Amino acid sequence: MTESNMSFLSRLSLAVGTFFAVLGDGELAAQVRRLRDGAVAAPVTAPQPAAAPAPAPTIKEASPESALQLLGLLQRGARFVDFVEEDIAGYSDADIGAAARLVHDGCRTTLREHFTIRPVRDEAEGSRVTLADGFDATAIRLTGNVVGKPPFSGNISHRGWRVEEVRLPMLTKTHDATVIAQAEVEL
């Protein structure tokens, strides 16, 4: 079978393969465009070897003890779990608001006692900023119409938060961190 008399399945296979090749190779895409526009295609050059892939990030297992300890501290200082687990459907907005104010104050006090938290960005929300190439993508998330390469200019919609210091209490080996609030039995 000649190249000009390819079967439907051969043409389909070529089309699918070409589709993915064009997506992955900008030069090939330009050559296909020139060919479709009727221009003579530039000679196909040998593919360049791909750069060595970056090593995969090391994944470490998170220990639940610290998270459970924080949850216990929020329960003790703000009755956070009690508030979240309560069915609030039968309460008025005023009652919920009053309870939320107490929980908020307790959570804030607990966080400030055990953590030093600072904004990721110092500019006010709504400020216009430019992010240069190499910005810390672990600390800054781009939202909206993200196209192209840095530098990016946009408005800060949230300053972000970064923990600078952690001051969690030490635990004994026998401490059961899964018990974030003991059951109480009144005698």
The predicted structure's pLDDT at residue 7: 66
- 170 and 111 share a domain? yes
The predicted structure's pLDDT at residue 116: 97
- 151 and 177 share a domain? no
The predicted structure's pLDDT at residue 13: 60
Residue 74: closest CA among 102, 103, 117, 95:
103
- 93 and 175 share a domain? yes
Q: What is the Rg, in whole angstroms, of the alpha carbon atoms belonging to the chain?
A: 29
- 187 and 95 share a domain? yes
User: Is 24 part of a structural domain of the chain?
Assistant: yes
- 169 and 111 share a domain? yes
Question: 152-155 and 128-131: which strand pairing?
Answer: antiparallel
The encoded tokens of residue 68 equal: 């459970």
- 107 and 171 share a domain? yes
- Farthest-apart Cα atoms in the chain, separation: 95
* Model confidence, pTM: 0.62
- 149 and 179 share a domain? no
Q: Which residue has the tokens 């750069």?
A: 51
Specify whether the CB–CB gap between 144 and 136 falls below 8 A: no
- 130 and 143 share a domain? yes
The predicted structure's pLDDT at residue 4: 59
The predicted structure's pLDDT at residue 61: 81
Residue range of the domain that includes 132: 121-159
- 153 and 127 share a domain? yes
User: Is 54 part of a structural domain of the chain?
Assistant: no
- 133 and 92 share a domain? no
User: Is 133 part of a structural domain of the chain?
Assistant: yes
Q: What is the pLDDT along the chain (187 residues), one digit of tens a residue?
A: 455 566 656 565 666 566 666 566 777 767 767 777 776 545 555 566 777 787 888 888 878 888 999 999 999 999 999 999 999 999 999 999 999 999 999 999 999 999 999 999 999 999 999 999 999 999 999 999 899 999 999 999 999 999 999 999 998 889 999 999 999 999 9
Sign of CA dihedral 142, 146, 149, 154: negative
The predicted structure's pLDDT at residue 62: 78
What is the C-alpha to C-alpha distance for residues 41 and 39, in angstroms, rounded to an integer? 6
| Total domains, the chain | 3
